[in-house]
Amino acid sequence: MAQTFAEDVLDGRRALVTGGGTGLGRAMTEVFLDHGAEVAIASRKRYAQAADELGIPGFELDVRDEEACQRVVDEASDALGGLDLLVNNAAGNFLSPAANLSENGWRSVVDIVLDGTFRMSQAAYPELAEAEEANVVNIVATYAWTAAPMVSHSGAAKSGVLNLTRSLAVEWGDDDVRVNAIAPGPVVTEKAAEHLGYADPEVQEKLATKIPMDRLGEPEEIADAALFLSSPAARWVTGECLVVDGGQWLQGNLFDALMSE
């Protein structure tokens, strides 16, 4: 695919991507690297191989651990010489009817998605505020405002992240720290397909019929959105949520198709 942005559009920028070893996180990491940024990744698993393959710093991180969040921010900042960009991509999700959802299942997802996003943002704030221009990108979902069955835990958490995005945009604007979100549609990644029940190609074909553009997304398409929000092209954009889903959310609830399987 031809590059839309200049190869050096992120030249001199220093990014930390959580959940950066696989899926959307790895795609965003690679796009940032391809456009001139220095990048560090952090994740609970599979970060070491990705860091080695890409030749970048990688750190073990469980965003449920406040001290670990601060440690990784400090170590990434030391490795890169500061931080300009933070991508909060660490996530946890699975399908469950609300009536059957355990207390532990609820708390685990909320702790990773909502609380983890807050912990990382708070830990990174001093570094971001010192940068000439800084940006935070949070990953949410369209069901944060439309609602959907089977994901009450994730929906509540991501709705909180969306509000947090806007709250931090208001608070941190004076420091030239922009805070935005991306709401991806159904994207073909190993983790998402497995946890949300569409690993089967036949299920993917069925889901595609619920999307106006008649296909599932690719990780690179979400990464390009993150690139835009992190670039000078979005220098007056903050507190916004960019939906990248082929129009799916306009056409109703995607999870009905999964529930019928």
Condensed to tens digits (0 to 9), the pLDDT of residues 201-217 reads: 788 888 888 899 999 99
- The amino acid occupying position 26 is R
- What pLDDT, on the 0 to 100 scale, is given for residue 195? 56
31 in helix, strand or coil?
helix
Catalytic residues: 143
What's the rounded Cα separation, in Å, for the pair 91 and 180? 17
At position 239, the amino acid (one-letter code) is: G
Domains of the chain, CATH where assigned: 14-259 (3.40.50.720)
Q: Please report which confidence band the pLDDT of residue 252 belongs to, taking 50, 70 and 90 as the band edges.
A: confident
CA distances in angstroms from 238 to 70, 71, 124, 125, 226, listed in the order given: 24, 27, 17, 16, 13
pLDDT digit string (tens) for 192-203? 656 555 667 788
pTM assigned to the model: 0.93
Cβ count near 104 (within 10 Å): 8
pLDDT, residue 137, reads 99
pLDDT single digits (tens) 116-161: 999 999 999 999 999 999 999 999 999 999 989 999 999 999 999 9
Mean pLDDT throughout 37-41? 99
Question: Phi/psi of residue 196, each to 5°?
Answer: -105, 10
